[in-house]
Amino acid sequence: MKRAIFPGSFDPLTLGHYDIIKRGITLFDEIIVAIGVNSSKKYMFSLKERQQFIMDAFKGEPKVKVVTYEGLTVDFCQKNDVEFILRGLRNPADFEFEKAIAHTNRDLAPIETIFLLTSADTSYIASSIVRDVIRNHGDYTKLVPDSVRVKS
């Protein structure tokens, strides 16, 4: 069984993330959406909310699992018998950043990183942009799946 982890903070899940997961389902038997917990980072949405956004977005899709983890992604992979890390690339800056992480991960463990280019219509979407739109009371619903909604 080919399993991949799709790690991130997902604060919040965006249409870009959603697209990568949907396309990843066609390549892997299981996609583990792994929400990294970083105690030094301040999040807009609670861990529970972020988990629920993802679970609701992929309700009825048995190939998608949602978990949380702390520490190195490669350690999580080894503990859970996962051979692949799935990452989305929006632009050349993403590639350079992700390439360095992929090389480091491969030095630490026999884990391969698989890159998917984001779809053209979602390539501009970043969680930080979504959070800024939300903070400024803009229409963020065009940037996220229907499962992501701010409580009024």
Q: Residues 3, 65, 90, 99: which is the catalytic one?
A: 90
Catalytic: 90? yes
Clarify whether 103 is annotated catalytic.
no
Q: Which of 41, 48, 59, 137 is the catalytic position?
A: 41
Residue with tokens 């800056």: 93
- Say if residues 16 and 134 touch (Cβ distance below 8 Å): no
Range 109-141 burial, b when 16+ CB lie within 10 A, else e: eebebeebebbeebbebebeebbebbeeeeebe
Whether residue 17 lies in the annotated active site:
yes
Active site residues: 17, 41, 90, 127
